[in-house]
Structure 1
């Protein structure tokens, strides 16, 4: 089924290994949020991981990981303001990822990106049936300015 997700997105230009070493958020306008549903897909016996879900939620940062189905158009339209910033045809043809996932926190927990997304949904979803995820991405200077 479709899982409603509110994703709080923070992009940084600096590299860090531990969340405690992350740059300080000096302005909350740098944190955007996106409301998008995620469809859980299983392919050839592989499970759908948290990493897969984050990449599906952010196709503008992970174009090669985008899943080609009819649901993507409606997902981008429902994203509101952030949907207008989705990738243009030129950037979607690149085969490299534009960003690196530095940190994902859900309910104060940093789960492994390889954990099955179904486990995340069953155990960390809020009572209002939304999954609230905080994601920090490292992007290059050129991509951060777009």
Structure 2
């Protein structure tokens, strides 16, 4: 039986409102916007067969190559839709307003040549994940074309039951179809993590919408294998995993003292242990660390785990103490990667330097 948490993740969808770019409108009045739900685990180009008929009559003559734009930024077609949303919307927008294009495919994106391009990208991610988990890509390489097609169909249709059956063929030890089975019981030692880190400007009114992400070069990408167990046999937590991946980027409040202030601001966690240390002397005075911008007063009473930012996985802001094996079983994407979006608050001066 598939655990309920994983079912809910697979059912996750983002409400979208799509507008055809003015430069491609040839009719008066222009076509109305198109509203739809986009699966979190899907990819934007998979929406085009539903979107294009709505705008077809307004398009100019020419070859159609669909792509999407958010606040002037062309969106990467090979990144899962949910990851794009979590990364680009510090304050979640509902619906998510995107511009759709069918002409002038941007040169900064990887060329897109139809659904086969997405399938190749997906299979390559599976190979990378398989190598992390098993030390080999043979589990993916041994899939027949029919098995690959069935696996891809399950992703496109959001059919988790078919996906789990295909994954048993792919690699029995990676199957997540039991809520009671843990990663160590499936002989999994490592899981693949993919981090996307963005610094988001804040001002006196909160998170600024005046300075959207201008270029993908401003995102830091890190892909690493993460150990399930510590040397003492205990389960690795999310926070421990992140600190192992990039210790300079993830810091407890108690570790700030003595840190080089010229370094970019890390994501700061006031864990219970660090709070206890701070209480013994005095509460952490973040005014001493000008690059650390506390966000609590911007969140309107919303609970936050971090002093100056957010972590999102599958639209969830997880407790840093969650075990990595639970995250891998319930929040991993269909390509087996755990996609982690990290957003760190910064001021205008620091954000412009990124």
Range class of TM-score, shorter chain: 0.5 to 0.7
C-alpha separation in 2, matches of 1:46 and 1:14 = 38
Residue in 2 that maps onto 1:22: 207
Q: Highest Rg: 1 or 2?
A: 2
Given that 1:105 and 1:111 are in contact with CA atoms closer than 8 Å, whether structure 2 keeps it comes out as: yes
Displacement after TM superposition at 1:137 (Å) = 2.8
C-alpha separation in 2, matches of 1:52 and 1:112 = 12
The structure carrying a bigger strand percent of its residues is 1
The structure carrying a bigger helix percent of its residues is 2
Residue in 1 that maps onto 2:298: none
Residue in 2 that maps onto 1:85: none
Tell which has more relative contact order, 1 or 2 (C-alpha 8 A, sep 6+).
Answer: 1
Given that 2:194 and 2:338 are in contact with CA atoms closer than 8 Å, whether structure 1 keeps it comes out as: yes
Residue in 1 that maps onto 2:331: 124
Indicate whether 1:113 and 2:320 are aligned: yes
- Gap runs ≥5 in structure 2: 1-188, 269-308
Given that 1:104 and 1:111 are in contact with CA atoms closer than 8 Å, whether structure 2 keeps it comes out as: yes
C-alpha separation in 1, matches of 2:345 and 2:267 = 5
Residue in 2 that maps onto 1:7: 195
Per the alignment, do residues 13 and 60 of structure 1 end up closer, same or farther by CA in structure 2, a change over 3 Å counting?
A: farther
Would you say how many aligned residue pairs link Structure 1 and Structure 2?
A: 113
RMSD: 3.5
C-alpha separation in 2, matches of 1:54 and 1:15 = 28
Residue in 2 that maps onto 1:59: 247
Render the CA deviation track for 1:30-54: whole Å, top value 9, x for unaligned: 2222222112232556532111122
TM-score (norm 1): 0.58
Per the alignment, do residues 45 and 39 of structure 1 end up closer, same or farther by CA in structure 2, a change over 3 Å counting?
A: closer
